Amino acid sequence: MQDLLTSFEDYLQNNLPKSQSFHPYFEAALGEMLNAGGKRFRPMLLLSVVNSKNSLLVQSSLGVALGVEMLHTYSLVHDDLPAMDDAALRRGFTTLHKKYDEVTAILVGDALNSEAFNQIAQAPLNAEVKVELVKLLATDGGINGMIIGQAIDCYFENQKLELDQLEFLHIHKTAKLIAASLRMGAVIANYSLDVQQKLYDFGIDIGLLFQIQDDIIDETATEEEAGKTTQNDGAKNSFVNLLGLEGAIKAADDLALKCENRLNTLDENLQNSLKELLLKYLNRHK
């Protein structure tokens, strides 16, 4: 897995988005949150699935993995804006609207969103594969995925949702992009439609688990430990606010066990490729 991560980071550094203008700091701001790091979880899921079947395709998939990371990073930049969470810290660094200004943060997010699809378009892959990848990322990162989840999250602040509504919110806001990352890797590797769907469904569970864990971390961790603003969910529909801290931890424990069991149903190559990455995170709430 370390080799995959190194390859991805090297590719990222050589393909950071650029603007050619006389703006005094926009180009620096463009790459700042990408350079800030993060778990690289979504691109590593994609690359791990590709690597499980055809390691020779990994190099050709790096642009797609970067596109997924760019789309995810744009969502974080916008999520931190004053109209949403008004957060001061992300990935251990000052958020863009705090360091520069709100306009810069909005436009950096916009640029990362469009550049994500440019990265896929330029990947050295079959055109039909790239069309399918664009469709998947646009669907699960767009109006039927992350965007509607974010819209519901913002609209229903200070209004209590039922558990099924809360799960709908976070399946769309968080889980679908994780599920799409797995499926996109399966599309590149030419896994069967059956395996693609199995990985996608697995990704929904992983994504929901991640959100419950994030809610627990927001409640229990310091900003230094989390690398982002914490204690910031007071008005939000979080699993901790709905279930209580102990209830959220139990829900995370149950879902982590379900994810481990589902991982063990995958074929041996997929298991081996994903285990090192996933087992590191499945119980991070403990």
pLDDT tens digit sequence for 158-185:
899 999 999 999 999 999 999 999 999 9
pTM listed for this prediction: 0.94
What DSSP designation does 177 have? H
User: Could you give phi then psi for residue 94, rounded to 5 degrees?
Assistant: -60, 135
Residue 144 has pLDDT above 90, yes or no: yes
Name residues whose C-beta falls within 8 Å of residue 113's C-beta, 6 or more positions apart in sequence. Answer: 70, 71, 74
Q: What is the pLDDT of residues 68-89, one digit of tens each?
A: 999 999 999 999 999 999 999 9
Separation CA 33–CA 26 (nearest Å): 12
Domain boundaries, the chain: 2-279
- The one-letter amino acid at 168: F
Question: CA–CA distance from 34 to each of 8, 97, 204, 229 (Å)?
Answer: 12, 15, 24, 18
Banded model confidence at residue 230, pLDDT cuts 50, 70, 90:
low
- Say what the pLDDT of residue 243 is: 96
Higher pLDDT, residue 115 or 232 = 115
State whether residue 89 is helix, strand or coil. strand
Provide the CATH number for the domain formed by 2-279 in this structure. Answer: 1.10.600.10
pLDDT of residue 229: 64
Q: Are 8 and 43 in contact (CB under 8 A)?
A: yes
Residue 20 burial by Cβ neighbours in a 10 Å radius (0-12, 13-18, 19+): exposed
